[in-house]
Structure 1
Amino acid sequence: MSTTVTFAGNLAEAPELHHTRENNKPFVTCRVLVNRRVQNDQGEWVSDEPTAHNVKIFGSAATHVHDSCGSGDPIFVHGLERTESWPDKETGEKRTKDVVVVDNRFGEVGISLKYVSARIDRAPHAAQAS
């Protein structure tokens, strides 16, 4: 079972481009830090501890994010939260990690325009490119 999540934050580092083993399709992995402002006991606004989200982006959005975004850039993510599991290489113990997945079937990712401006450079559709 997966949960739909939506959040805006900043890229912790530049998105990393990978390719699937089965069919060599591109996907991107990145971490997004969500900062929250809270009032302390004196009534002052301070930054709370950021929440880190592991994100995997598939499909056409993967190459767009890789080519367009860098460390610190503000983005928003709408995707499905899933838990990945694998055996530890050294101990064989089960390891898990929560990941937000964005793909062409479900989800969106984009630049957050709350504090920055951007220009849109439309990519050609696959049918137009061939």
Structure 2
Amino acid sequence: MFSLNRVHIIGYQTEPVSPRQTPSGTSVVDLNLVVPYSFKAESGDMLDGKGFHTVTLWGPMADVAGRFVKPGSHVFVAGRLQTDSWEDEKTGEKRSKTKMVALDMILLDPKDGQLAAPANAKSITNNLNRADIIGHVTRDPELRTTTGGVQVLTLGVATNEKWKDKSTNELKERSEFHNVVIWGALAQEVTSNIKKGNRVFVSGRVQTRSWETKDGHKRYTTEVIADSVLLLGVKNSVAETSFRADARPARSDAKSDDSAPASASVEVPEIAYASEIKAEDLPF
């Protein structure tokens, strides 16, 4: 694996699920998940917001979602970001939409219904919106400053994915181009030290925002708002003190007894693999 493109979401389904079938009979479902979150505004105040995420499920996973996911269902999904592009039939304009393609799904609600949210426990009742990317920077970062005096930059990062087509056994490859938004002191450090072609790790949250074209048409852009950016493949002086070029044998204080018979056996204590947890103790 030369790159990484992974997203983890815990959120709530907003609408009834509508399963559909491809011409070949494969089930497909699109989830629309809302993820409430808190963020720091330019003023420094903490504000509440919510993000919406389109998640596409295929095959047996789509069948399960069609049966059990309802409006309000609490769901975990893990997958990858994928941008689909097409040409508008009316205007001829190039259009694109970024969604999440699920690789795994876990239904989170207890069988007897959701729990009441505890008071004054916001930290443990948060949801999850996390993207982790390893890829190459596609252009030199350009730092800019908002009207409020905060520094920000958008970094382009490319990831690649390879897979084998099940119908043709042909090896295929797909590239994804991610817009990464970096704020504040981290933006300044990235501008000073990272350039086009560098390999980086980015961790943050996925955000889709809307904007209008000159013609008044609404468009959407999906970005990763970075919490962490790491430059990869660099030397580290602290780690270098632990490097060892030669393979030294493990030292032992006990002297080997060459006179011991080859057939001598060592008694191994019996291990009980039975679980101490009983089925009736499980909460589900």
Corresponding position of 2:221: 97
Aligned residue among 43, 54, 76 for 2:179: 54
- Cα distance in 2 for partners of 1:67, 1:47 equals 36
Aligned residue among 131, 136, 145 for 1:5: 131
SS at match of 1:67: helix
Do residues 109 (structure 1) and 229 (structure 2) align? yes
SS at match of 2:174: coil
Structure 1, unpaired ranges of 5+: 121-130
Larger Rg: 2
Superposed displacement of residue 37, structure 1: 3.7
Contact preservation (8 Å) 1:35, 1:47: no
Superposed displacement of residue 18, structure 1: 1.0
- Cα distance in 2 for partners of 1:97, 1:51 equals 14
SS at match of 1:13: coil
| One-letter code aligned to 2:212 | P
Q: 1:80 to 1:39 in 2, by over 3 A?
A: same
Superposed displacement of residue 117, structure 1: 2.3
| One-letter code aligned to 1:11 | V
- Cα distance in 2 for partners of 1:5, 1:111 equals 17
Aligned residue among 21, 25, 47 for 2:150: 25
SS at match of 1:35: strand
What is the TM-score of this pair, normalised by structure 2?
A: 0.35
User: What's the RMSD between the two structures over aligned residues?
Assistant: 2.0
Superposed displacement of residue 27, structure 1: 0.8
Contact preservation (8 Å) 2:162, 2:174: no
Structure 2, unpaired ranges of 5+: 1-49, 52-128, 238-284
- Cα distance in 2 for partners of 1:66, 1:118 equals 19
What is the TM-score of this pair, normalised by structure 1?
A: 0.73
Tell me the number of residue pairs that the alignment of Structure 1 and Structure 2 aligns.
Answer: 108
| One-letter code aligned to 2:134 | A
Residue-by-residue CA offset, 1:45-87 (whole Å, 9 max, x unaligned): x672211111110021101101101111000110011011111
Residue-by-residue CA offset, 1:71-125 (whole Å, 9 max, x unaligned): 110001100110111111x2111111001112xxxx211112xxx22468xxxxx
Do residues 35 (structure 1) and 152 (structure 2) align? no
- Cα distance in 1 for partners of 2:178, 2:159 equals 8
Corresponding position of 2:141: 15
SS at match of 2:229: strand
- Cα distance in 2 for partners of 1:68, 1:118 equals 14
Deviating 4+ runs (over 6 angstroms): none
Q: 1:47 to 1:62 in 2, by over 3 A?
A: farther
Contact preservation (8 Å) 2:134, 2:201: yes
SS at match of 1:78: strand
Q: 1:66 to 1:118 in 2, by over 3 A?
A: farther
Residue-by-residue CA offset, 1:9-57 (whole Å, 9 max, x unaligned): 0101111111112x12111111100122445737xxx672211111110
Corresponding position of 2:192: 67
Higher normalized contact order (CA 8 Å, seq sep 6+, divided by chain length):
1
- Cα distance in 2 for partners of 1:56, 1:110 equals 14
Contact preservation (8 Å) 1:30, 1:56: yes
